[in-house]
Chain A
């Protein structure tokens, strides 16, 4: 018999600590597959965030550094500038990248640092216990907004891809999702392009992945996939927001 799928070599053979149905496991595998297929695992350096994926260094078989909350792109900048031959990626969640790390994210993109950022958007803070994140949808309940996010008090959700697409330094921005198998395959393509851009020295590349957090949304994983399809996609439309290679650069 022929084995169709194989565990990527860049992903260590250990059981992950994530909750059932969490999207991190899927994206970890996709990142590891990209590192394998582009043959850069031996010179890859990852930056693990603060959040549920803080233990990403337990799972990736490449060098990893665990950064302070939100400082992933700043640390990745330092690694890439001191060792330009390394392939550097920062793996971050929405509380990490869009809240406390917004300054680092925006300025890394503005400087067009030649790094790859993997941004997991699950519309809520995961590890800290389901608080409202900058990406929480209007009306979505969380432990700090039990009656739902109220725009008068909490403002509006941040769309990171749209925000960064205004910067000339951001070279590749795409939003994908992992709520169905088809979207997982598309996410892999986007991640591979983001890593290829770095190998080609094109500058700042980011892939935003809409992901599941069934524990903190307090719904079953399959209902979380439905939640993404019905509630998140209208607010966070999928697609390529910037591709410096595309003929009409700067547009959708």
Chain B
């Protein structure tokens, strides 16, 4: 019973249902062009969700990712304006993101502050810095060969480059999370940090690394975002931390840490992406999209709690089975 009713599997099933519904109701939905667009429109959220998954599994959260994306975009814009080569700009922007993540991580691990409070602060700080860097200007006209990297498909496939990159990174994160000692450590830290520390796991170092990765990925997503829209603005990606967190929680990762699978998160990301796409095709206003995302977020944390409130019966069955062989 437990196997079939696993949360991530249910999200996968829901994904298929939504896909089926979309194909039936909208003729333009299940076309290669639309799906490819929907995927690349989802690219940044998906990329950041990979790093966020590892953080949330370790019972931390990074709310500043959208601001790091904006700061990275602003840096790209202002440096391009200043005449630097795009090949130089991209590493600088990504490095800046790593630095942002480092600041988050140091405040969390060195001072022992809750990551929630820290990243609410840096959410304001980094977005503020983005405005300081670029003001309310928009910078455009990036070199076409780079723009096409962010927009075009991998030759011979309907898969855009950012999506291909996501698939590659997802494979790496999947292996790291589910098959390495590092991944094991993350689950242990998230479920019971003290016990992990007492088992000799370098909790602080690992958390610091996760924040740096999160900042780096968010900044890289900022570069992709900028090139994809061909426009660098300080308010790029405003509020997408919500979609990222909604996708991660919807994918069955427990906000309290220690639980969840990458497969679930990918299903969660796709589900949010498809829903957004469907709403867009259905010409539903962006307001409704924001309501839907918000509701999804609430439902994705509420349902497991409601299930666990009704759970004692199921738990009793599981334990009595253990008892059969367990007690002398």
The answer to whether A and B interact is: no
